[in-house]
Structure 1
Amino acid sequence: MTSTLPFVSVIIPVYNEAENIQKCLNAVTSQTYPKSKYEVLVVDNGSQDGTKEIARQFSTAYDNLEILIEDEQQGSYAARNTGIEQSSGAILAFLDGDCSPHQQWLERGVSTISGTGVDLVGGNVEFTYPNGGTAAERYDSFTNMQMEESISKRNVAKTVNLFVRQDVVEDVGPFPNHLISGGDVHWTKRATDAGYSLTFAHDAIGCHPARPFGELLKKQFRVGKGQIQVWMLDRISLRRVFALALWILVGFLPKPPHYLSQDLRRTGQTVTKAMFVRILVVAWCCRLAENAGRLSYILRSEEQ
């Protein structure tokens, strides 16, 4: 039975993940999938907080875990591409360094991609609340990395928990190295637009800590910059410029409360009225941070 299983390369880009990488690698090296059938490639992208040293402890203890270095270009997509170049698997499993998979994550992700014949599989992301479920953590947990919704509504997925056939990567090409954010959505859209199939695996679960307020604002600022980078990849027309200007103007407005209510219902969360108001405030701050990222990148591009 083991001999028929595909070999898998688990690719984990890391940058200053000392706080999370041990938990991640403990989970990855404790999978129910046979150890002889997968390798773990941790790609360090210039960490300065001891991440590499923690990962090296695992590479010493586990023969199937290797540390790679990507120090020529800063960015998670550059690190993922380095992992792809050094991989040996027929299936590539992408995971973030702050995501800790369930013990059967690899087995179930591979089972879905092999059993259904699809080309890409987005795994489930379960959020944890390190600070007890603050307004920022709750907002993060129902707006970011909503894999099932991204797949069902937009036919795209995130690399926080993604399985891809190697031949798909060979055909579609590498991730866009220069993108600050959104490169995974852009890449999976290219794959599905090319006719490759994508599905959701609810039982291939990775646990991700929801972000506190400060980290969430930094994330949304980065997302805004990445959105403009992706926008610039397509041909610029007067219609697209007008749509972008409108998008930015709307970005200064608060998020309508009924959208937040829908998100809460979709994720099965119930909150008090006071918490709902706090989440509304966080949502507005995040929209402003995202818009600031967009404007920052546009202004920087004009200067260059």
Structure 2
Amino acid sequence: MHKASSDTLRVSVVVPVYNRPSELRELLAALVLQSVDSAEFEVLICDDGSTVDLRAVVDEFNTMNSLQIHYFRQHNQGPGIARNLGLHNAGGAIVAFTDSDCIPEPEWLSELIGPIETSSVGMTGGLVDFRTADHLSGRCVNYLMSSMLGAGGARDPRAALHMRYYPRAGNTAVRRELACAAGGFSGQRHGEDIEFSNRILQMRTKIEFVPTAVVVHNEKKNSRQVAMEAFQKGTARIRLAREQGVHELIHTLPALLVVGLTASALTGLFLPAFSKIAGIPTVLYAIVLALIGLHGGFLLKDVRALLLLPFYASLMHIGYGAGYLYAFLTDPSTSVSLERQTVAAKSPHDGMSEQ
């Protein structure tokens, strides 16, 4: 049973989740502390077919405080479709998205929706704080995703050199009617938030980065996960380029790195007379990795990051480049269809299947 009518709601917070009961508790505890009055926002937990009981976590918070939490469940279809489930049932004029392993700061929601409520901005994206995450691996990955040398400032457009900014689904808000008109998120498991943001942008809507809307991303990844995720993002980049023209020169750099390092190794192996010249790309890249380690280690204030950051950076760069090349070379002309679940602009909570 809903605790407030949609007339009182400023914003609906949608959280896709798969398992992670302890992380969900931490997220809900942080949402309880939001500066926005609890009567003015709702939280929609969209369970993507978890194998553990998350309804009990939601019930626990519903009985303890006045936060409006609604629980929905679907068969496992991926985070994009889970977000669409929340979007379909959202009652607020604005829909904010975050992930179950994120911890928003108390002013997060207020700062994130402020530009949308007070100007013509249609979509906002906030900052992912890489300094205070629980796990060193997560701090390193989030630093790399925000830095110029790590990932071209993908998550932070304040980087000196950065790609075009597209809000990521872990920290973004959008006018509900725009999100519905754009058709919601695709069913792809990588790049679906960039694809969604680009469709919003193509509607000639202003998108604004809000550095004061901060979440801490408590992800934990091992080296295999870092490499595999980078590979999948590289393949997704080719798909985005073909389907929506979302591509910039900076996106080709990891692929050029893979080609350069491979050529350097082969030249040194089969043409030893040119080994010194062939080794130049490797030396230059080693310098870049050292700079990443020094800068990131200083910002993270952890000596272990001096070694882990260069290692993770190399996995991300080479993995992304390999995925990019694989997708380009295996199917250079055929487009890949996007499985997108269209979200109709229905009235708030119309026909929802809350459990």
Shorter-chain TM-score range = 0.7 to 0.9
Counterpart of 2:215? 206
SS at match of 2:156: helix
User: Deviation of residue 294 (structure 1)?
Assistant: 5.1
Partner of 1:143: 144
Matches within 5 A, 1:59-208: 59-61=62-64, 62=66, 64-71=68-75, 73-127=76-130, 128-131=132-135, 133=136, 136-144=137-145, 146-149=154-157, 153-177=163-187, 179-208=188-217
1:268 deviates by 7.0
Amino acid at match of 1:284: S
User: Helix, strand or coil for the counterpart of 2:70?
Assistant: strand
Aligned residues of 1:27 and 1:103 also touching (Cα < 8 A): yes
TM-score (norm: length of structure 1):
0.78
Per the alignment, residue 33 of structure 1 pairs with 36
Taking a change above 3 Å as real, the CA distance of residues 257 and 59 of structure 1, as seen in their structure-2 partners, is farther
Q: Which runs of 4+ in 1 moved over 6 A?
A: 244-247, 270-274, 295-302
Whole-Å separation in 2 of the counterparts to 1:54 and 1:300: 45
- Report Cα offsets for 1:76-116 as digits up to 9, x if no partner: 10000111111111000101111111112112222232123
Q: Following TM superposition, by how much is the alpha carbon of 1:204 offset from its aligned partner in structure 2, in angstroms?
A: 1.5
Is the CA contact (8 Å cut-off) linking 1:105 and 1:204 kept in structure 2? Answer: yes
Distance 1:59 1:147 in 2: 33
Shift of the 259–30 alpha-carbon distance from structure 1 to 2, 3 Å rule, reads: same
Map Cα deviations across residues 149-169 of structure 1 (whole Å, 9 max, x no partner).
189741311011101011211
Q: Residues 265 and 246 of structure 1: is their aligned pair in 2 closer, same or farther, counting only changes over 3 Å?
A: closer
* 2:193 match: secondary structure: helix
For 1:157, the aligned partner's letter is P
SS at 1:167's partner residue? helix
- Confirm or deny: 8 A CA contact 2:45 2:70 kept in the other structure: yes
CA distance in 1, matches of 2:219, 2:143: 10
**Contact 2:139/2:300 (CA < 8 Å) preserved in 1?**
no
Deviation (angstroms), 1:216: 2.8
Give the superposed CA RMSD.
Answer: 3.7
In 2, distance between residues paired with 1:25 and 1:228? 36
How many equivalent pairs are there? 290
Q: Does 1:16 align with 2:19?
A: yes
User: Where does residue 291 of structure 2 map in the other structure?
Assistant: 261
2: CA distance, partners of 1:67 / 1:115: 30
CA gap 1:111/1:263 in 2 versus in 1, 3 angstroms: farther
More divergent stretch after superposition (211-220 vs 86-95): 211-220
Q: Per-residue deviation at 1:273? A: 8.9
Question: 2: CA distance between counterparts of 1:147 and 1:207?
Answer: 13
Alignment-mate amino acid for residue 181 of structure 1: H
| Distance in structure 2 (CA, Å) of the matches to 1:59 and 1:48 | 21
| Cα distance change, pair 57–176 in 1 and its aligned pair in 2 (3 A) | same
Matched-pair contact (CA < 8 Å) for 1:157–1:184: yes
Report the Cα distance in structure 2 between the residues aligned to 1:274 and 1:32, rounded to whole angstroms. Answer: 36
Q: Does structure 2 conserve the Cα–Cα contact (< 8 Å) formed by 1:248 and 1:291? A: yes
Q: Aligned-pair distance for 1:120?
A: 0.8
CA distance in 1, matches of 2:139, 2:72: 34
Residues 292, 310 of structure 2: 8 Å contact kept: no
Between the aligned partners of 2:157 and 2:56, the Cα distance in structure 1 is 37
* Alignment of 1:233 onto 2:243: yes
Instruction: Note closer, same or farther for the CA distance 1:258–1:116 as it changes in structure 2 (3 Å cut).
Output: farther
Query: Quick one: structure 1 residues 245 and 87, their matched pair in 2 at CA, closer, same or farther if it must change by over 3 Å?
Result: closer
What are the ranges of 5 or more consecutive residues in structure 1 without an aligned counterpart? none
